[in-house]
Amino acid sequence: MLISNFCKKSIITFFAAFSLTSVAKEENQNLILENSVNSNEIDYKDGILPFKNSANSVDLGMANVPVRDIGAYGYIVVFSTVSALNAKLKLPYLIDVNCTNALLNTIYPNSATPEETLDTLKEFGIVFERKNLKCGFTIKKEEYLKISNKNYKSQISYKSYPKLSINELKLTLKNGHRVLIGTSLQDNLGDPISVNGFNLKVIGNSKIYDGGLYACQQPQSNENYCLNGNSGTLLIAIGYDDNQQLIKLRNSWGVNAGENGDFYMTYSFYEKMASNSVVIN
């Protein structure tokens, strides 16, 4: 599956809003070049073992928050951030992503960062999904305030990092906190792996999933997908498995992407391509 044009636009818009500092960019690029010859990754062609069946793995899940789909007019940052917050709050209601997106389009017309998204929800409150609620592409602040709930301000908390080390990421997940991860993607024209990842097989399941495994190098391809990063995306880290050297993530491209919306990333890919991190406390 080659990702559609509107998804590519959302990825590129995200990358502009969630970019590295010039110093961090240089350091990250140097790390990529230093490790570009041999990624030493596991060969996953026989499939990935479900984390629940792998000893000492961590899988926080998403607290029954459904897989989001950014659609034609959404921003990946907003959808991922709202989903992560929704899972953290563990509410019986879903935050209305479209109304959140409309408010942010009004305040930040060129796309918001995760921090700006969370700060905006703290200030203006949360709108929950309900029947016949339509906010449009933008919404006036005063109109949003009429339908929002400000009772959750004290529960919206986060901390930003230039980049968590793999050990810091694992400790954060082990302590029960999901992490928003900014990740560079190589995005080669006509190459679906560069955006969607390698097709994914899960042990115990005969289905081959469309994309879902972000790895630098695998035997079925001569390409190294950790050499360049000309676009990016935002994913929610929800687990890790040292045995398989994998991070588990939730994407916002709908249930037809990856394993019903969930993706996996090798430790090597994370170390070479991940950038900023936002921990949802």
Number of H helices and number of E strands within the chain? Answer: 9, 9
Structure tokens at 221: 């391809």
Instruction: Answer whether residue 78 shows pLDDT above 80.
Output: yes
pLDDT recorded at residue 28? 47
Residue 82 has φ and ψ, to the nearest 5°, of: -65, -40
Rg (CA), the chain: 18
Instruction: Answer whether residue 252 shows pLDDT above 70.
Output: yes
Domains, the chain, ordered by start: 5-280 (3.90.70.10)
Q: How far is CA 210 from CA 10, 193, 247, 251, 273, in A?
A: 20, 10, 18, 13, 21
Interval 123-139: pLDDT, tens? 999 999 999 999 999 99
Compute the distance between CA of residue 139 and CA of residue 98 in angstroms, rounded to an integer: 10
Q: Which of 28-37, 250-259, 263-272 has the lowest mean pLDDT?
A: 28-37
Residues 6+ apart with CB under 8 A from 105: 137, 138
Whole-number percent of the chain with pLDDT over 90: 81
Residue 252 burial (CB count, 10 A): 28
Asked whether 193 and 223 are in contact (CB, 8 A), the reply is: yes
205 closest CA partner among 262, 160, 158, 246: 262
Compute the distance between CA of residue 263 and CA of residue 236 in angstroms, rounded to an integer: 9
Residue 43 has φ and ψ, to the nearest 5°, of: -85, 115
158 closest CA partner among 85, 83, 234, 247: 85
Instruction: Answer whether residue 149 shows pLDDT above 70.
Output: yes
Interval 33-63: pLDDT, tens? 444 334 579 999 999 999 999 999 999 999 9
Q: Would you mind telling me the total number of residues written for the chain in this entry?
A: 281
Task: Give me the chain's average pLDDT, please.
Answer: 88
**Helix pair 5-17, 76-89: axis angle to 10 deg:** 80
